[in-house]
Amino acid sequence: MFTIISITAIAFLSLILLIFLQQRRTAQALAISQESEKRLRTVINKMQVGVLLVNSQTEILLCNQAASTLLGLTEHQLLSKTTADPDWQVIREDGTPYPSQNRPVQQAITTRQLVQDVVMGFYNPTIRDWVWLLVNAEPQLTADGCVEQIICTFNDITERKRAEVARKKSESAALCTATLLQTVVTNAPIIVYALDKDGVITLSEGKGLEAVGRKPGQTVGQRVFDLSHDEPDRVENIRCVLAGTDKKWLWQLGDLVYETRATPIRDRNGQVTGLIAVATDITERQVAENALARLNEELENLVKERTAELEQKNWLLQVEMQKRSSAQEILERYKLFAEHTRDVIVFFQPDGQIIEVNQAAVKTYGYERCELLHLNIQDLRASQTLTLLPEQIEQANPESSLFTTTHRRSDGSTFPVEVSSQGTVIGNQKVFLKIIRDITQRKSFKDAHQQSEERFRATFEQAAVGIAHVGLDGRWLLVNQKLCDLLEYKRPEVLRLNFWDITHSDDLAEHLQLLSQLRAGLIPYYSLEQRYISASGSAIWINLTVSLGRSQMGKPSYFIFVLEDITAAKTAAMLRQRTESALQESEAKFRNFVENANDVIYSLNLQGVFSYVSPNWPDILGHDVQEVEGQLFIPFVHPDDVPACMDFFQTVITTGKKHSGVEYRIKHKDGTWRWHKSSGSVSRDALGNVLYFIGICRDITARKLAESALRQSEERFRQLAENIHEVFWIASPTNDQFFYVSPAYEAIWNCSCEQLYENPKLWLEAIHAEDRSQVLAVVESDQQDGYEHQYRIVKPDGSVRWIRDRAFPIRNELGEVYRFAGVAEDITDQKRAEEQVQFLHSITKAIFESQDFETALGVALQKVCEVTGWDLGEAWIPHPDGSVLECRTWYNPQSGLEEFIKASEEFKFTPGFGLPGRVWDSKQPEWRRDVSMEQSNIYPRCQLAGEFGLKAALGIPIVVEDSVLAILVFYMFEAHEQDEQLIEVICASTELGLFMQRKRVEDEVRTELKKEKELSELKSRFISMASHEFRTPLCTILSSADLLELYGKKWSEDKKTEHLQRIQSAVERMSQLLDDVLLIGKAEAGKLEFQPAPMNLDKFCADLVEELQQGKSSSQHTITFVKRGHYTTTLMDEKLLRHILSNLISNAIKYSLPSNNIYFEVNCQEEEAIFIIKDSGIGIPKEDQQRLFESFHRAKNVG
């Protein structure tokens, strides 16, 4: 019933021993002492606990019978030994020898503190076997804190130790399995998670979590429905699995796509208790499936990119010429630098071939320059550093790297170097630059300094006396561990003190006086005995020797203290005088210890009634002592554990021997059950009769919970391994032994796991012959960081599957790889998708680059035949009237089929007639195994095909928006059954119809783009013109308004009127400009209305000239109006004509010098009127005359 923790019982025995010693030393009560000694010795000898009484010199003064039995020596032999005797064979729990200075008794003497629960193994010469003991050592101190004697007690825990070893082996095996599975899950790029029936996440593992920004275990305890509220499809799938159905679905996480497979977890009764799911990254496969769709967009962008490329080439060429000129100058400077620097400069290619070196390289390595240019960079490295070279080159590829290594000269000698490495591109060639510096002198100096420092540190730290450097201000600057142990301070605590902080006040004056003389140079050193106060407050007698440390300039820098502990010699007499007082204090201390022990001590009478429980029962189990004492123990024990407890109780009472190891549940006062482990023995009277049962118990609830958690973890990982579709495996580094293979192996390899366990070579034999050597090379290489490779396997039915295999190293305690754990998955579908995408990309690109529709058809025929193995291809195109199919294009890589092609061109197929006609009519592919064997109504050219050896045929339609653009027909010389996968690939390739249709509208698109560009330019010119034309009147308005505001009160009315008229003229100009813009806008939009009406053209022109001549802008110009021909009433739109002529005459005035004449002529003929306006102004440049009628265009000479 309770764990073996005998410290409290041992303390009770120790108390008895101390009383016994006290009685022995009392001469006045000799007779009583003898009788008491006899009784106490009898009690001690009957106890199952071994007891030793040891003095401060580790000599054994007293032992009981249990100690003799456990140690295999007689009492006489024991009393002649010390606990530090080198003849003892003592080991630690890990099997290593137990040094005498670290044993409990020696530790108790050194630390002056209780040493408890130390597990030690003793070799028992009597039984010739090891005995495991739980040892406690309690020092008895004098009044001044010195150790007088030690009470050492120990229990036999051999049986418990053996049970623990067996349990640890079992737990280690279980933990190893769990750890190996955990290693696979943690390193594989998958996400593994488990849910309980309420959707709470109980497991979240896998390296794939890193890609989605999460850490393993981050979401454990959260409800998956709370995390996926915006993913209704995923929530629905999870609910289906929790209802008992296996499910598979796609899960989108940002740019990543995961394929999730989930399986319900059931208890023994078949009830669903949760689910376990594995999400595998299928982004690459998804990307492959989406690649064709993206190609459409890429090809559309390609048209735009080509236009941009042509515009940039000229500019890039000019920039390149400037760069080359600058680069030549820079190259000359770098050449001068490289040849005069002391560092070695080496350029080499990615394969390590040296292509350039400087003169320093020739001097350093002892080679001629021509010899160096024929070497590889590996030839300059010491052999032991070659394995690091690939990694160092890889690090230098994206960015520069700095490292040290060892190089070799031409004479074979080696020397240390510091290397700066950087990858770069020169002239479209990838090269690496290394700058190498010889660091032989620096390294030699560093090594010598380090060795000197290590020797000083070892001497300082391993000295048998305390050594310290003390500053001139009294602070401890540097101390060794011996000094810290002596003063009972930790090193940081000492360094925060001054030496007088721990010097006894009675001894400080003398010390300071001597220290002053030493510093003044009156004495070379001094020694004295004084007391230091330890961290515990006790006084320690020290023999102190002090000398002076000086700087390189000879000035005092610090003091050197050497401390030797002489406390034992000083306090020996005092210890003897205070023995009686120490015994009394020890009795009180042990009584207090018994009352405050952590484990429960109890006793039962022979009927199983509690007669005593220790005072800590209420703290541990909640009941008051009065509630327990006098009660049967059975009501406190769990009903399922009562039989085991009764057997344990009866066994101890019946045999009278000590027993331990029973585990049971005991009820806490709060109603919960707590696991305890108990040991028991009996107490006897003088006649040997059993009086009562004595037990000690320990709470092991935490350990039980940990064991339960470990079992649950192992069960979860077992379910994971057995329910995912990837193969988990654990094997030796060379794969010559498999320790574990998950059941998915049988589904993929079609071979049982037991067969693989019996014959590991089955794994290698299943690999495709072409891939076997490559796989063996990877497995047999030194893969310290794991490996990943892809290979094919041949299943027993002859089918071939692609496998991706990833392995992760598992290391032992020494860091050595002793196993590999891995994940193997079937990637056949992914491989097929990649091949299909590659094929589709090539054919799409070729079609896009074709000039016309028929050329594109020829390219399609050629690509399909080359990739899929067809021997002949033909293309049938519907006639423009849609009545028949005509053969337009062929692809014939074979010779001898020209007559078949010529004859076929004479055929015409209507809808539903012949292979092309049926495909045309159904818009679906059609496969014929052997057309030469078909009836003529099925294949009209059957006789012709038989003459030329054509057999298998396949017809594929090219359909765009439910319209057939062409029919592709392929032939081969062998009969062949229908291949759905081949049909699927070819059908996907015939999506070229979309590109053909796009080619037909390319011209229309280019035309529209040209119009859009012109419209954009028109808008730009309008904005430029408007901003220019509006700026002048706006400036006039602003200027006149400002002047009126500032000087209006001072000006005369005429002056004010002049500026107001300027503003009015500017407003009229702006109004006219707006009318012009609105008019042009209506014209561009097609909304300008033409409203002709009868008008007198002569009067209209005369009025217009008079109106313009009176305007402000024309006051300095003369408008000469000339009319020719016969004027009659005309039919014109007066408003539009006024607008046109006003603009022309106004421009002539605007761009003519003052006093220049404007000539305006109207020439009326029979059916037309010709208006001529001339000026002698700046004119229109010749290059702008072609754009005279473009809206908003301004000549370059008007700004």
Please write the tens of the pLDDT for every residue from 542-551: 888 999 888 8
Looking at the structure, do residues 431 and 370 belong to the same domain, yes or no?
Answer: yes
Average pLDDT, integer, range 455-472: 82
CA–CA dist 978, 952 (Å, integer): 9
Residue where a domain stops, chosen among 137, 156, 175: 156
Q: What is the phi-psi region of residue 1086: left when phi exceeds 0, alpha when psi lies from -120 to 50, beta otherwise?
A: left
pLDDT at residue 968 above 70?
Answer: yes
Please report, for residues 372, 373, 376, 449, the alpha-carbon distance to residue 415 in angstroms, rounded to integers and kept in the order given. 18, 21, 18, 19
pLDDT at residue 3 above 50?
Answer: no
Cβ burial 711-745 (10 Å sphere, 16+ → b, else e): eebbebbebbbebbbbbbbbbebebeebebbbebb
The single-letter DSSP state of residue 208 is G
pLDDT at residue 29 above 50?
Answer: no
By percentage, how much of the chain surpasses pLDDT 70?
Answer: 81
Axis crossing angle, helix 1097-1109 with helix 1134-1150, rounded to the nearest 10: 40
CA 916 to chain centre: 57
pLDDT at residue 891 above 70?
Answer: yes
- Return phi, psi of residue 1091, to 5°: -120, 80
Domain with 1180 in it: what CATH number? 3.30.565.10
Q: Is residue 310 part of a domain?
A: no
Ranked by mean pLDDT, which of 939-943, 1024-1028, 1052-1056 comes out on top? Answer: 939-943
Looking at the structure, do residues 465 and 530 belong to the same domain, yes or no?
Answer: yes
| Top-confidence residue, 557 or 1077 | 557
CA–CA dist 704, 641 (Å, integer): 15
Mean pLDDT, the chain, integer: 80
Query: Two tokens at 1022?
Result: 């309008």
Q: Pairing relation of β-strands 659-667 and 539-550?
A: unpaired
Average pLDDT, integer, range 228-242: 85
Looking at the structure, do residues 18 and 147 belong to the same domain, yes or no?
Answer: yes
Burial tier of 889 (Cβ tally within 10 Å: 0-12, 13-18, 19+): buried
Looking at the structure, do residues 867 and 828 belong to the same domain, yes or no?
Answer: no
Cα four-point dihedral sign 1014, 1015, 1016, 1022: positive
Give the pLDDT confidence score for residue 61 in this predicted structure.
84
Give the pLDDT confidence score for residue 592 in this predicted structure.
67
Looking at the structure, do residues 366 and 483 belong to the same domain, yes or no?
Answer: no
Give the pLDDT confidence score for residue 256 in this predicted structure.
79
CA–CA dist 1197, 49 (Å, integer): 120
- Helix, strand, or coil (residue 563): strand
CA–CA dist 56, 1111 (Å, integer): 131
pLDDT at residue 977 above 70?
Answer: yes
CA 233 to chain centre: 28
- Helix, strand, or coil (residue 944): helix
Looking at the structure, do residues 876 and 906 belong to the same domain, yes or no?
Answer: yes
Give the pLDDT confidence score for residue 564 in this predicted structure.
86
Over the stretch 600-655, which tens digit does the pLDDT of each residue have? 888 899 899 998 888 888 888 888 988 888 999 889 999 999 998 899 888 888 88
Average pLDDT, integer, range 836-848: 68
Cα diameter, the chain:
173
796 neighbors 777 (Cβ within 8 angstroms): no
CA–CA dist 385, 557 (Å, integer): 46
CA 48 to chain centre: 58
Give the pLDDT confidence score for residue 969 in this predicted structure.
92
pLDDT at residue 844 above 50?
Answer: yes
The alpha-carbon radius of gyration of the chain (Å, integer) is 52
Looking at the structure, do residues 136 and 196 belong to the same domain, yes or no?
Answer: no
Please spell the DSSP secondary structure of 623-679, one letter per residue: --HHHHTTSBSGGGB-GGGHHHHHHHHHHHHHH---EEEEEEEEE-TTS-EEEEEEE
pLDDT at residue 13 above 60?
Answer: no
Which residues have C-beta within 8 Å of that of residue 13, sequence separation ≥ 6?
A: 44, 47, 49, 51, 153
The distance in angstroms from the start CA to the end CA of the chain is 109
Give the pLDDT confidence score for residue 19 in this predicted structure.
44
Average pLDDT, integer, range 180-199: 75
Which residues have C-beta within 8 Å of that of residue 341, sequence separation ≥ 6?
A: 358, 360
The model's confidence at residue 1003, banded by pLDDT at 50, 70 and 90, is very low
The region of weakest confidence among 87-91, 782-786, 920-924, 1028-1032 is: 1028-1032
Domain with 212 in it: what CATH number? 3.30.450.20
pLDDT at residue 1195 above 80?
Answer: no
Q: Is residue 885 part of a domain?
A: yes
771 neighbors 802 (Cβ within 8 angstroms): no
| Number of folded domains that form the chain | 8
CA–CA dist 302, 132 (Å, integer): 82
Q: Is residue 366 part of a domain?
A: yes
pLDDT at residue 508 above 70?
Answer: yes
CA–CA dist 530, 500 (Å, integer): 12
Please report, for residues 265, 271, 471, 540, 716, the alpha-carbon distance to residue 268 in angstroms, rounded to integers and kept in the order given. 10, 7, 75, 69, 15
Amino acid at 1109: Q
Q: What angle do CA 9, 13, 17 make, to 5 degrees?
A: 165
Average pLDDT, integer, range 317-327: 68
Query: Two tokens at 973?
Result: 């010389």
Query: Two tokens at 758?
Result: 């019996």
pLDDT at residue 990 above 90?
Answer: no
pLDDT at residue 311 above 60?
Answer: yes
The model's confidence at residue 21, banded by pLDDT at 50, 70 and 90, is very low
Looking at the structure, do residues 556 and 632 belong to the same domain, yes or no?
Answer: no
211 neighbors 256 (Cβ within 8 angstroms): yes
The parent domain of residue 949 ranges over: 850-990
Q: Is residue 610 part of a domain?
A: yes
Q: Is residue 117 part of a domain?
A: yes
Ranked by mean pLDDT, which of 338-352, 428-442, 942-956, 1151-1165 comes out on top? Answer: 942-956
Helix or strand holding residue 1029 (H, E): helix 992-1047
Looking at the structure, do residues 696 and 731 belong to the same domain, yes or no?
Answer: no
Please spell the DSSP secondary structure of 186-197, one letter per residue: HHSSEEEEEEET
The model's confidence at residue 7, banded by pLDDT at 50, 70 and 90, is very low
The model's confidence at residue 11, banded by pLDDT at 50, 70 and 90, is very low
Tell me the CB-side half-sphere exposure of residue 339, using CA atoms within 13 A. Answer: 6
CA–CA dist 742, 729 (Å, integer): 6
Cα four-point dihedral sign 946, 948, 953, 957: negative
Sheet containing 885-891: order of strands: 885-891, 872-878, 963-971, 953-960, 926-928
Give the pLDDT confidence score for residue 515 in this predicted structure.
86
Encode 894-934 in three state secondary structure: CCCCHHHHHHHCCCCECCCCHHHHHHHHHCCCEEECCHHHC
Residue where a domain stops, chosen among 832, 860, 890: 832
Looking at the structure, do residues 503 and 375 belong to the same domain, yes or no?
Answer: no
Residue where a domain stops, chosen among 806, 832, 858: 832
Q: Is residue 1029 part of a domain?
A: no
Give the pLDDT confidence score for residue 4 in this predicted structure.
33
Sheet containing 690-699: order of strands: 610-613, 600-604, 690-699, 673-684, 659-667
The region of weakest confidence among 402-406, 764-768, 1179-1183 is: 1179-1183
Q: Is residue 332 part of a domain?
A: no
Looking at the structure, do residues 358 and 427 belong to the same domain, yes or no?
Answer: yes
Q: Is residue 790 part of a domain?
A: yes
Over the stretch 1119-1135, which tens digit does the pLDDT of each residue have? 888 888 876 678 888 88
Cβ burial 177-202 (10 Å sphere, 16+ → b, else e): bbebbbbbbbbbebbbbbbeeebbbe
Residue with tokens 């004595």: 694
CA–CA dist 229, 239 (Å, integer): 13
Average pLDDT, integer, range 567-576: 72
The region of weakest confidence among 214-218, 471-475, 744-748, 1004-1008 is: 1004-1008
Ranked by mean pLDDT, which of 161-175, 781-795, 1042-1056 comes out on top? Answer: 781-795
Give the pLDDT confidence score for residue 927 in this predicted structure.
92
CA–CA dist 527, 483 (Å, integer): 17
Beta bridge partners of residue 344, listed in sequence order: 436
Looking at the structure, do residues 522 and 605 belong to the same domain, yes or no?
Answer: no
